Amino acid sequence: MKDVAAAAGVSLKTVSRVVNGESNVNDDLRSAVLESIAELGFRRNASARDLRQGRSGTIGLLLEDVADPFYSMLSRAVEEVAREHGTMVFAGSSAEDPDRERDLALAFCERRVDGLIIVPAGTSHSYLLPEMRAGIPAVFVDRPPGDIEADMILTDNLGGSRRGVEHLLGHGHRRIGFIGDAPEIYTAGERLRGYREALESAGIAFSDDLVTQAPPSPTSTADALDRLLEGPSPATAVLCGNSRTTVSVLRELARRSARLALVGFDDVELGDLLQPGLTVVAQDPGAMGAAAARLLFQRIAGDTAGPTQTVTIGTRLIPRGSGELPAP
């Protein structure tokens, strides 16, 4: 910038004004400056600007895994909203590791992001309190934060799960299994609650025998199906608590050539092309990301007065065949 000023024969400040598109600059000077900028290939240094202005035009996005379709759609939605605000996005994957989550979040803060969007992996987020007090707003997505109050965007896990079970009940099933993720994961717990409530509302006793809670893996899935299908009155339907579980169950069912009515929580690409088509309770990761980003930018803009908000995004049941298999 100094060089540009020298080349154009003006002061530093005038170059700054031109670069920032301020109106009160003489047209001749402006063109001289623009010419020098083009000639020298000048590009403003954002670090210096950030330092001076105390804000970075940057937000941090902390996901479980950037490569997971659910999060990558969420991520894209966040990016679009950020773009509208002239903001760039740092994205990082916590890999479900609380320490890594913390490191990433604090690294984002060190970079002086204007705000954070977090899919929490850990159960304690008090480490963010100093940062939030220092003016970095945080919005949590998909799962609530551990031990602090903050804005959240959640899926209607309970309602969606309930709806999925009711759908199976509506097709005559009475022995309905639930295979979900590890119980310490918030969404897994909520979805199990929905399953339970639906059964109870229908006057069906909840039975531990029909429930599996474990991270999806070929062996845990095989075990879960063994338990569901053994005994005198085997399950005739199952609700899968997340898409990885759903896929895992589908593979195992295919291997056994077994058939089971199935509703998956969270949609899966190509679900419509399977035989039968996969019935799902679809979440809307795009809507979640957009809602989170919008709320975050509202906070960044200074709307920091109100109480913390919780936005719940609804689910949509998409019948494609697997959930409509009748009970025998």
Per-residue binding string, a second copy, 254-273, x by CB under 8 A, is x-------------xxxxxx
Residue 66's binding partner out of DNA, a second copy, none, with CB under 5 to 8 Å set by partner kind:
a second copy
How many other C-beta atoms are found inside a 10 Å radius of the C-beta of residue 36? 20
Instruction: State whether residue 249 is helix, strand or coil.
Output: helix
Write the secondary structure of 147-213 as one string of H (helix), E (strand) and C (coil). Answer: CCCCEEEEECHHHHHHHHHHHHHHCCCCCEEEEECCCCCHHHHHHHHHHHHHHHHCCCCCCHHHEEE
What residues between 74 and 93 interact with a second copy by CB under 8 A?
A: 75-76, 79, 88-93
Quick one: which of 34, 40, 49, 276 contacts DNA (CB under 7 A)?
49
Cis bond leading into 130, ω under 30°?
no
Quick one: which of 21, 41, 52, 67 contacts DNA (CB under 7 A)?
52
Residue 325's binding partner out of a second copy, DNA, none, with CB under 5 to 8 Å set by partner kind:
none
21 interacts with DNA by CB under 7 A: no
CB 53 within 8 A of CB 265: no
Q: Could you tell me the two tokens for 227?
A: 């338990």
CA distance 291 to 139: 10
Residue 305's binding partner out of DNA, a second copy, none, with CB under 5 to 8 Å set by partner kind:
none
Q: To 10 degrees, what angle do helices 69-84 and 285-300 make? A: 40
Q: Which stretch binds DNA (CB under 7 A): 38-46, 71-79, 141-149, 212-220?
A: 38-46
Instruction: State whether residue 93 is helix, strand or coil.
Output: strand
Residue 72's binding partner out of a second copy, DNA, none, with CB under 5 to 8 Å set by partner kind:
a second copy
Q: Which stretch binds DNA (CB under 7 A): 10-18, 88-96, 200-208, 257-265?
A: 10-18
CA distance 184 to 129: 23
CA distance 162 to 28: 69
The one-letter amino acid code at 106 reads L
12 interacts with a second copy by CB under 8 A: no
Residue 258's binding partner out of DNA, a second copy, none, with CB under 5 to 8 Å set by partner kind:
none
Q: How near is the Cβ of 18 to a second copy at its closest, in Å?
A: 15
Identity of the residue, 106 or 214, whose beta carbon is nearer to DNA in the bound complex: 106
Identity of the residue, 21 or 328, whose beta carbon is nearer to DNA in the bound complex: 21
Q: How near is the Cβ of 56 to DNA at its closest, in Å?
A: 12
The one-letter amino acid code at 266 reads D
Instruction: State whether residue 327 is helix, strand or coil.
Output: coil
Residue 233's binding partner out of a second copy, DNA, none, with CB under 5 to 8 Å set by partner kind:
none
Instruction: State whether residue 135 is helix, strand or coil.
Output: coil
DSSP string, 212-239: EES---HHHHHHHHHHHH-SSS--SEEE
Q: How near is the Cβ of 193 to a second copy at its closest, in Å?
A: 29
Q: What is the Cα 133 distance to its own chain's centre? A: 24
Quick one: which of 25, 66, 182, 327 contacts DNA (CB under 7 A)?
25
Per-residue binding string, a second copy, 103-132, x by CB under 8 A, is ---xxxxxxx-----------------xx-
Quick one: which of 31, 45, 126, 219 contacts a second copy (CB under 8 A)?
45
Residues that bind a second copy (CB under 8 A): 41, 43-48, 50-51, 56, 58, 65-69, 72-73, 75-76, 79, 88-93, 106-112, 130-131, 133-134, 247, 250-251, 254, 268-275
